[in-house]
Chain A
Amino acid sequence: MRIGVFICHCGVNIGGVVNVPEVTEYAKTLPYVVHAEHNLYTCSEAGLAAINEAIKKHDLNRIVVAACTPRTHEPLFRLACKGAGLNPYIFEMANIREHCSWVHSYDPKGATEKAKDIIRMAVFRAALLEPQVEPEVEVKGSSLVIGAGVAGMTAALTLANQGFKVYLIEKEAELGGMTRKLFKIYPTLADSTEVVNTLIEVVRLHPNIEILTSTTLKEVSGYVGNFNVILTVPEGERKISVGTIIVASGSSIYIPPKGLYQYGIYNRVITQVELDKMLRDDTIGRPERVIMIQCVGARKGEIRHYDLAALPKSPTAELLRRILKARKEEGWPYCSRICCMNSIKNAILIKERSPKTDVVILFGDLRVYKEYEDFYRKARDLEVRFIRYIEEVPAEIMKVNEEKLNVMVYDALAGCEVTLTADWVVLSTPLIPTKDMVMLARMLKIPIGTDGFLMEAHLKMRPVDASVDGIFLAGTVTGPKDVPESIISGKAAAARAATLMMRKKVSAEAITAVVDRDLCIGCGLCEEICPYGAHRIEEGKSQVIEILCRGCGSCAAECPRRAISMRHYGDHQVMAQLKALLRPALTGAS
């Protein structure tokens, strides 16, 4: 056994808290460790080259990298091992960033000791790891796209053009999703119906796309490459099997509760979507003044990331407490990303039709960037007025008569309260998760983030992958996006799905159950408890159907004869970590 340990500074992410050189010296003292080194970034080209070199130089046959989480970086390092001629399963990761330096920055000494423990555990486990062969699974060349908005249709079209069969399902009777309900799209002021209709037409005519409207998902089973899906269609049920799934089921628009800024009480208080409709139908007329209020129901609610009671007394904590107290208004905690641009767009549209109308946008923060900044300038040139309000002092709306409202707002820059009379007050509300998002997430086993949207496998590195293999995310299911961004994510998701389907085969994790036939008495408990039907009793002994086994290990934990073991997660391999961890805890313990 020749173990090599590579400890990553991750710039200052680990090195700024954990004493990496000390930990490296410690690693050298561990059993079977013949080489230990530290690198600035082990995942960099130089870091990977160092691993490769050390494997050859020191004839290493087990590799431990102490760095970040295996959930993102294990595949990369396994690949590096493979590149150096080693089986990828002899690799083990010690998570000393997410589970150590990032959460113990106030206690560098404790973090250093913990890092040593984590590495010792990984080394003990690595010593017992064995090479594994990954079973290959066939990937069906068909895809299910859930939701026919711009993102879904784009994804469907991209896949269909590459020759894959696509089932495009939409819960509504018509295609087009949210975009169909809009009027003009910023920044080009293109007609949204035109954009959508062109897309719909191409999708409808495409021979590789089967469109199923008024259709919802009933059940999903199977795994990457072989998903079995039951759909609820108007005629009843329909079963399909696909290789990949793209979730593009979109989001909803937040409708303010009755009374918020007098919404639902005065009919001259409307939302941006209602304004869109009025602009499209040209029923807005020539009003004297239109006032838009930003962040209605967005960036509100509790500040979830802070446990105020646990915060030490400090000016920051005091400020947070004060803000939290002021935030009684209900709503969603995040910035919805598109509302600033949407309001500016509608302001420009009003100005272009009726230059004499005074359009005022009340904002907390204005978030326009890149080419959108020009759009903002265009609005200023058209004399759209921007007034900054502060959240603690929300605007008040009072009725003057049936057609006029008074809006009282504290102008944060001028430092005084102003009252403006308006014909219309337009509330900019955020995109929010759809009501069935939770159901969908459960069915597909995709986690939901704190904002309520579906979570990507990794926000930065795998932005369109779900954490479930073979499932990809497009459009606003992961959070607010505008039309171009939705189209980009639709194409990205399609590309990711196509990569899988193009290969026709994908190797599955080698973590599967193994039965010791000498110990097995064929009692059948494993057959009963396996959720995937991977155990079958044949000739009085349990047989594992490897392709069906997903590797959860419940059978191993339940087998009365302890005849079942898991590849890569055998009792001895898990126990090794426990023993390594607790070795110093009790003297004399086995």
Chain B
Amino acid sequence: MVEKSFEPLIAAFCCNWCAYAGADLAGTSRFEYPTNVRIIRVMCTGRVDSTFMLLALRLGADGVLVSGCHPGDCHYLRGNYMMERRLGYVKRIIELLGMEPERLRLEWISAGEGEKFSALIRDLVGTIKKIGPNPLKNGGIEAEYLMRKMDASIEALKSQRLRWVLGISQVGIKIDEARYKAVVDSIMHDEIERYMMILAMKEKGPLTVKEMSQITKLTPTQVMRHIIALRASGMIKEVGEREHQYTYAATV
């Protein structure tokens, strides 16, 4: 349902010292660009939590830009590197959700690159126009399911387990990248699925395995596996019985 003249809305997180200043310079130098971008100023892109990027898409942004100092130029030494790594994970989640990874863009802009900022916005608006509006805007069952999955992904990105695994890679511990990636992927999947279940229980009250399977589109076996883990960590508990099946409720 692409509108006739689709004007994308893009949320941009810009660091105070480089990208925001670059956008200022674009203004001072009158380097025109389309009006589709709204800038949110942060001191450093290192501040941009993984949940911010995903929440922007969840709330309906058609594209998200995170822009900070060039590698090596970070006002806070390493904030941009940390954001870059974090953004990589969010991109994987976006792919996993079946959305276009181009909706999330990282670009380095220095305080002296007003023209580059202007060119970037023109290019980004063009890209998003090509791939179309945020699929959440389409409505219908598919959009509703995507919304559920995004909500669960945001919860997963807030969860201690995933944050810890992601955070540990920021501190330079020597790990085998391929193995690490596999572990992250499996944890990412697990957490997103578990939060889909938890959010469903929160929304609809106690649910049976069968009901959860229907809502989350997971197989009963997968649901059962998560129930065992969630019960063990005390995040859900059995609360009753329905049609000869236990019902579970979230405790968090």
The residues of A with any CB-CB pair to B shorter than 8 Å are: 69-71, 95, 97-100, 102-107, 110-111, 113-114, 117-118, 121, 304-305, 307, 310, 442, 445, 447-450, 455, 467-468, 511, 523, 525, 528-529, 531-532, 550-554, 556-562, 566, 569, 571, 574-575, 577-579, 581-582, 585-586, 589
A555 to chain B, nearest CB (A): 9
Select one of B34, B59, B160 contacting A560, CB under 8 A.
B160
Stretch at the interface among B46-54, B91-99, B189-197, B216-224: B46-54
Q: A103-B118, A121-B38, A560-B163 are in contact. Are A467 and B21 (CB under 8 A)?
A: yes
Are B163 and A558 interface neighbours, CB within 8 A? yes
- CB pair B171–A98 under 8 Å, yes or no, is no
A395–B49 CA distance with the chains assembled, in angstroms: 59
Check A569–B170 contact: CB distance below 8 A. no
- B112 in the interface (beta carbon within 8 A): yes
Can you name the residue of chain A whose Cβ is closest to the Cβ of B28?
A98
Nearest CB of chain A from residue B186's CB, rounded to whole Å: 18
Nearest 7 A-B pairs (CB), nearest first?
A98-B27, A553-B47, A585-B60, A586-B60, A554-B46, A552-B76, A447-B111
Query: B111 is contacted by which of A121, A455, A552 (Cβ under 8 Å)?
Result: A455
- Inter-subunit contact B44/A103 (CB<8 Å): no
Instruction: Give the complex CA separation of A455 and B119 in angstroms.
Output: 21
| Given A447-B112, A552-B47, A586-B136; A102-B28 close (CB under 8 Å) | yes
Quick check: B41 and A70 within 8 Å, CB to CB?
Answer: yes
Q: In this assembly, does B184 line the interface, its C-beta being within 8 Å of a C-beta of chain A?
A: no
- Known A-B contacts A114-B35, A447-B18, A553-B47; the reply to A561 vs B30 at CB < 8 A is no
CB within 8 Å for A557 and B18 given contacts A104-B35, A455-B112, A578-B40: no
6 pairs across A/B with beta carbons < 8 Å? A105-B32, A106-B32, A528-B170, A531-B79, A560-B163, A582-B9
Task: From known contacts A97-B27, A585-B61, infer whether A551 and B55 are also in contact, taking CB-CB under 8 Å.
Answer: no
Residues of A within 8 A of B30 (CB): 102-103, 105
Residue of A nearest to B10 (CB): A581
Q: Bound state CA distance, A538 and B238, in angstroms?
A: 39
Q: B152-177 vs A: 1/0 string, CB under 8 Å?
A: 00000010100110111011000000
Minimal beta-carbon separation of A159 from chain B (angstroms):
26
Question: Could you list 15 further interchain pairs (A-B, Cβ under 8 angstroms) beyond the known A107-B34, A310-B122, A585-B60?
Answer: A69-B24, A104-B34, A107-B35, A114-B38, A305-B29, A529-B167, A553-B42, A553-B47, A559-B163, A559-B167, A560-B160, A560-B163, A582-B56, A585-B134, A589-B59
> Which residues of A have CB within 8 Å of B21?
71, 447, 467
Bound Cα distance from A459 to B62, whole angstroms: 36
Q: Which of A117, A121, A304, A529 has the most CB of B within 10 A?
A: A529
Contacts of B185 in A (CB 8 A): none
Tell me, yes or no, whether B26 is within 8 Å of chain A by CB: yes
Cα–Cα distance between A114 and B32 once the two chains are bound (Å): 14
State in angstroms the CA–CA spacing of A145 and B39 once bound together.
37
Residues A448 and B38 in contact, CB atoms below 8 Å apart: no
B110 within 8 A of A: yes
Q: Quick check: B79 and A554 within 8 Å, CB to CB?
A: yes
Contact indicator B26/A98 (Cβ below 8 Å): yes
Of A511, A532, A553, A562, the residue contacting B163 (CB under 8 A) is A562
Residues of B within 8 A of A511 (CB): 43
Is B108 on the interface with A (CB-CB < 8 A)?
Answer: no
- Name the interface residues of B62-89: CB closer than 8 Å to any CB of A: 72-73, 75-79, 82-83, 86
Chain B residues contacting A562 (CB-CB under 8 Å) are 158, 163
List the A side residues contacting B56 at CB < 8 Å: 578, 582
Q: Determine the residue in chain B with the shortest Cβ distance to A556.
A: B47
User: Which chain A residue lies CB-closest to B78?
Assistant: A531
Check if B47 sits within 8 Å of A554, measured CB to CB. yes
Known: A99-B24, A99-B39. A554 touches B61 (CB 8 A): no
With the chains together, A106 CA to B32 CA distance in Å? 8
Q: Which residues of B contact A532 (CB under 8 A)?
A: 76
| Chain B residue contacts of A467, Cβ below 8 A | 17, 21, 111
- B59, chain A: closest CB distance, angstroms: 4
CB distance from A537 to the nearest CB of B (A): 14
- Determine the distance from Cα of A548 to Cα of B51 in the docked complex, in whole angstroms: 27
Task: Tell me how far the C-beta of B86 lies from the nearest C-beta in chain A, rounded to whole angstroms.
Answer: 7
Instruction: Specify the chain A residue showing the minimal Cβ separation from B168.
Output: A525
Whether the Cβ atoms of B61 and A557 lie closer than 8 Å is no
* Chain A CB within 8 A of B180 CB: no
B20 interface contact, C-beta 8 A: yes
Q: For residue A453, which residue of chain B has the nearest CB?
A: B112
A581 touching B11, Cβ below 8 Å:
yes
CB distance from B34 to the nearest CB of A (A): 8
